[in-house]
Structure 1
Amino acid sequence: MGQVVDRTTFTRRDRQRYRIKVQRCLDSFEDLLRSYPFPDTEPMTGMEIEFNLVDPKLAPSLNGHDVLETINRGEWQSELGRWNLELNLPPRPLPGDQWRQLEHELLDLLAGAGAKAGDLHTQLAMIGILPTLDVGHMVGEAISPEERYHALNDQMLNARGEPIRVDISGCDPDERVNADFESIIPEAACTSMQLHLQVAPSEFGRYWNAAQCLAGVQLGLGANSPFLLGSQLWAETRVPLFEQSCDVRTPELHNQGVRPRVWFGERWIDSALDLFSENARYFPALMPLTTDIDPVAQMREQGFPELPELTLHNGTIWRWNRPIYDSTGRTPHVRLENRVLPAGPTTVDMVANALFFYGLLRTLVESDEELWRSVSFEAARENFRTAARHGMNAPLYWPGTGWVRPDELTLRKLLPLAHEGLARWGVSSAVCDRYLTVIERRCVTRQTGASWQIDAVAALEERGADRLSALHGMLERYLCQSAANQPVHSWELPS
């Protein structure tokens, strides 16, 4: 939700007008999909990465605003928490060596930003959840100063009408977080990597369905968030934490089956229109800001509309695979935003995760078998949750295979499909080999960011450290190996 927000209070009339405008935008979007001659151009990809900031003691550093001013580059933006920053990489095509170049550019950006942050005694951390967070950091004062974050906080708390409840248990019953928060700041603990892929509108339904099928595999291979507030919880604790910290439902509404705003979904789709229609039908406005733009007049005058109310509404519903409509360029486009993966552990791991995903998508979408016709939506959703909880040890259901761990499934079936898909995208063989080998070795060693964190903390505790000291020692080693850009499967444990 990157729009400018200049208000924190809204009237009943604001909400009524906004609902009408969202529906008018939705009608125009339907007309657009039916009549606009979308060009058959090379699809673009994009990546966003959220970062934590830590001080010399590896605690969260709340000087994000100062770090952002010091970096002073348009690719960097603020995020919800004062200990967060977000990096938006410029869009680029997939073919050739583009993503090898992206790795180099990302490393250069991180080196430059890291040096400037270092001048403020601050370090960047790419990790799903910062393990040194404690409840003292998760207060309303830690929300970034921009008006839109405070408006969002106020509206979500007003909608819920009571504190945000976080209740997550690990496999060990003694490992649990159960706490109430007076703001949505727990959301800032979740730092992710978001992957974008421009999609022909006629093909969007197939791409979204395929991405939903892959969400469990992505989490199983990419989990990197096992610790929260001193407790070892899920392999990807970011999933339940994000769901709960953005849940504006009271327990009663939850029991009635009201849909959550962080949502996997509930059915396979045919079109992006299905998702935008669900958003308008099921979710009340959080930020009812209306404009004077008439989408019908824009369609008539320039051939396509901007749809500001529809896109703002969509930005307050956090699907794990989200549809995006963008009209900021010379022509409008639709893209898929994949929000499944955490940040980190390294640049090379994130690029490998991205290309594995893009390659598999292409193969599955172009397959005559249509994988999503062979598996229930409920099974795909359960794969997602099981992988979030158990990571590489998760039993996933896959058509034609049955129950299988994500590493076995990837080695036996998915890596060849990813190679095939990247070749169809026109990605060079050298790039395919470099990054898919990273995925292969991660599966062979069965070491992800989450498993390394868990094993490193256990090793330090066996040497006599208490949990907090072990988390600090683990993070110190994590940051060192992350900066070296050696893939996580090669990381050594404390000896």
Structure 2
Amino acid sequence: MGEEVRDTEYSRAHRREYRRKVQQCLDVFETMLKESSFEFERPLTGMEIECNLVDSAYQPAMSNREVLQAIADPAYQTELGAYNIEFNVPPRRLPGRAALELEAEVRTSLNAAEGKANEHDAHIVMVGILPTLMPEHLSGQWMSESTRYRALNDSIFTARGEDILIDISGPERLSLQTESIAPESACTSMQLHLQVSPADFANNWNAAQVLAGPQLALGANSPYFYGHQLWAETRIELFAQATDTRPDELKTQGVRPRVWFGERWITSIFDLFEENVRYFPSLLPELSDEDPVRELAEGRTPRLAELRLHNGTIYRWNRPVYDIVEQDGVLRPHLRVENRVLPAGPTVVDMMANAAFYYGVLRTLAEDDRPVWTKMSFAAAQHNFEESARNGLGARLYWPGLGEVTPDELVLRQLLPMADEGLRRWEVSGEVRDRYLGVIEGRAKTGVNGSTWQVATVQALQERGLSRPSALAEMLRIYCERMHSNEPVHTWDGP
């Protein structure tokens, strides 16, 4: 979750002061980019995994408060829904065998957390959207206990002035009205962080935008919502619609959505923060006591609390992050690209493979003398992203030099060699490259990812006579069993 807030209601004067502070923070940030030293000499990677809780019948378990108390580990936190928790993996460097050690640590931690959850009749599931989630689960006490989440819900509906329409096409179209942001809680993702220098930020962000479509096609794991088969990665469209602050009139006027791919290649991280301030009104106008101008003038690192909070309410799929860490009593600033494209799951090894593929290709793309984004339009990258969300491994993508191509062909011919080269530049061991890129290769060759496995399994179970709800629950039971095996999803058998 983001940082907690104190209030759920704000006066007009309060909002004006917040807007002034955000602009002041933006001005200070611009100065810092020119004058300050940012931490990036030993770049760190980070990972966040959002999970779901289910009961013994594989239905949502609204018990994250009790489960988190039992886990009693600050690495685990609440998320929007009472059936969600988030696992924050400690940052680390990439070289050598670090990824194999990380895989073992993540499995050990999640297994320990699972044991604690079992004490409260709950199981932890890593999946993009919980397949057994139904409308009745998101009425009543569905939200985690948090002032931030209540304030966010109220602010979105105040801005809209009307209920939210969820309307998603697909094999089984879903259309409904909702009077809260509850459907957003269904979207559970894996977020990847990379610390970069100010000079390298634009190339890394542009590269991440190019890579978003292929990433999503490979990693799709959210085909069902409210019992309907929708997109290969339904989470993308559901998240966009569930947090949309715009009534139809503002959409037709071209007002930008809060969940945003963007609209152009950038030349600096400042471009993104400046767009965020210019295009988006505040949702959580919480004020700090800091005077960022004075902090910078006196040689200290400003926290830029208002700018960071505002940035956290604009859900770019590749989000720019300004953050600070304390080292030896001194605050040190750094910049990160936060990649929010991928769903959680199906297994730890699948997620580690997704991460290795991302970090490897990203480095190769970002360091190319003639970057790929100079050869394709931003609109083409956005089309690839949306096409991959709809159709997953069945998508048709555009790539310079290849024209229209399937994800498997693009991955096998172009992106896997780039991933291997990028990981070499990160000084990642051959053992690590072989393990994780082998998973990506297997997924591309078999055409099986989490989404295709879920759909095939539910269809097979229904052909045996199970109803859709029963098939979804049985599929999820098998999924959880395989998830704990840590065998990659492309090797899973049918039911």
With structure 2 as the length reference, what TM-score do the two structures score? 0.98
What SS class does the counterpart of residue 426 from structure 1 fall into?
coil
- 2:48 corresponds to: 48
Is 1:182–2:179 an aligned residue pair? yes
- Find the aligned partners of 1:50 and 1:4 in 2 and give their Cα distance: 18
Is 1:277–2:278 an aligned residue pair? no
- Find the aligned partners of 1:91 and 1:481 in 2 and give their Cα distance: 27
Mapping for residues 210-249 of structure 1, pairs under 5 Å? 210-249=207-246
CA positional deviation for 1:336 = 0.3
- 1:426 corresponds to: 427
- 1:468 corresponds to: 469
Mapping for residues 64-83 of structure 1, pairs under 5 Å? 64-83=64-83
- 1:253 corresponds to: 250
Structure 1 residues 140 and 306, CA, compared in 2 at 3 Å: closer, same or farther? Answer: farther
- Find the aligned partners of 1:130 and 1:263 in 2 and give their Cα distance: 23
Structure 1 residues 39 and 145, CA, compared in 2 at 3 Å: closer, same or farther? Answer: closer
One-letter code aligned to 1:229: Y
- 1:388 corresponds to: 389
Q: Is the 8 A contact 2:22 2:306 kept in 1?
A: yes
- Find the aligned partners of 1:121 and 1:417 in 2 and give their Cα distance: 45
CA positional deviation for 1:413 = 1.1
Is 1:439–2:440 an aligned residue pair? yes
- Superposed CA deviations along residues 214-234 of structure 1, whole A, max 9, x for unmatched, are 000000000000001111000
Q: Is the 8 A contact 2:39 2:333 kept in 1?
A: no
What SS class does the counterpart of residue 167 from structure 2 fall into?
strand
- Find the aligned partners of 2:169 and 2:39 in 1 and give their Cα distance: 49
One-letter code aligned to 1:299: L
What SS class does the counterpart of residue 260 from structure 1 fall into?
coil
Q: Is the 8 A contact 2:207 2:362 kept in 1?
A: yes
- 1:195 corresponds to: 192
Is 1:147–2:144 an aligned residue pair? no
With structure 1 as the length reference, what TM-score do the two structures score? 0.98
- Find the aligned partners of 1:61 and 1:34 in 2 and give their Cα distance: 49
Q: Is the 8 A contact 1:324 1:334 kept in 2?
A: yes
- Find the aligned partners of 2:100 and 2:308 in 1 and give their Cα distance: 32
- Superposed CA deviations along residues 235-258 of structure 1, whole A, max 9, x for unmatched, are 000000000000010011111110
What SS class does the counterpart of residue 320 from structure 2 fall into?
strand
- Find the aligned partners of 1:399 and 1:355 in 2 and give their Cα distance: 23
CA positional deviation for 1:39 = 4.8
CA positional deviation for 1:37 = 2.6
Q: Which runs of 5+ in 2 are unaligned?
A: none
- Find the aligned partners of 1:251 and 1:162 in 2 and give their Cα distance: 10
CA positional deviation for 1:327 = 1.6
CA positional deviation for 1:303 = 4.0
Mapping for residues 92-131 of structure 1, pairs under 5 Å? 92-131=92-131
Mapping for residues 78-93 of structure 1, pairs under 5 Å? 78-93=78-93
- 2:133 corresponds to: 133
Q: Is the 8 A contact 1:134 1:229 kept in 2?
A: yes
What SS class does the counterpart of residue 87 from structure 2 fall into?
strand
- Find the aligned partners of 2:14 and 2:158 in 1 and give their Cα distance: 16
- Superposed CA deviations along residues 148-198 of structure 1, whole A, max 9, x for unmatched, are 11111111111111112111111x3xx121111111111100000000000
One-letter code aligned to 2:429: S
Q: How many residues align?
A: 491
Structure 1 residues 80 and 283, CA, compared in 2 at 3 Å: closer, same or farther? Answer: same
What SS class does the counterpart of residue 30 from structure 1 fall into?
helix
CA positional deviation for 1:140 = 5.2
- 1:361 corresponds to: 362
One-letter code aligned to 1:408: E
Which has the higher mean CA deviation after the structures are superposed, 56-65 or 328-337? 328-337
Structure 1 residues 9 and 43, CA, compared in 2 at 3 Å: closer, same or farther? Answer: same
CA positional deviation for 1:120 = 0.6
Q: Is the 8 A contact 1:222 1:449 kept in 2?
A: yes
- Find the aligned partners of 1:38 and 1:133 in 2 and give their Cα distance: 43
Q: Is the 8 A contact 1:139 1:181 kept in 2?
A: no
- 1:262 corresponds to: 259
CA positional deviation for 1:483 = 0.9
Which has the higher mean CA deviation after the structures are superposed, 441-450 or 461-470? 461-470
What SS class does the counterpart of residue 141 from structure 1 fall into?
coil
Q: Is the 8 A contact 1:52 1:85 kept in 2?
A: yes
CA positional deviation for 1:9 = 0.4
- Find the aligned partners of 1:335 and 1:159 in 2 and give their Cα distance: 29
The alignment's C-alpha RMSD in Å is 0.9
- Find the aligned partners of 1:313 and 1:107 in 2 and give their Cα distance: 34
- Find the aligned partners of 1:285 and 1:443 in 2 and give their Cα distance: 42
Q: Is the 8 A contact 1:140 1:185 kept in 2?
A: no
What SS class does the counterpart of residue 340 from structure 1 fall into?
strand
Q: Which runs of 5+ in 1 are unaligned?
A: none
One-letter code aligned to 1:456: T
CA positional deviation for 1:410 = 0.6
What SS class does the counterpart of residue 328 from structure 1 fall into?
strand
- Find the aligned partners of 2:15 and 2:116 in 1 and give their Cα distance: 43
- 2:31 corresponds to: 31
Q: Is the 8 A contact 2:45 2:192 kept in 1?
A: yes
Q: Is the 8 A contact 1:43 1:198 kept in 2?
A: yes
- 1:313 corresponds to: 310
Q: Is the 8 A contact 1:139 1:183 kept in 2?
A: no
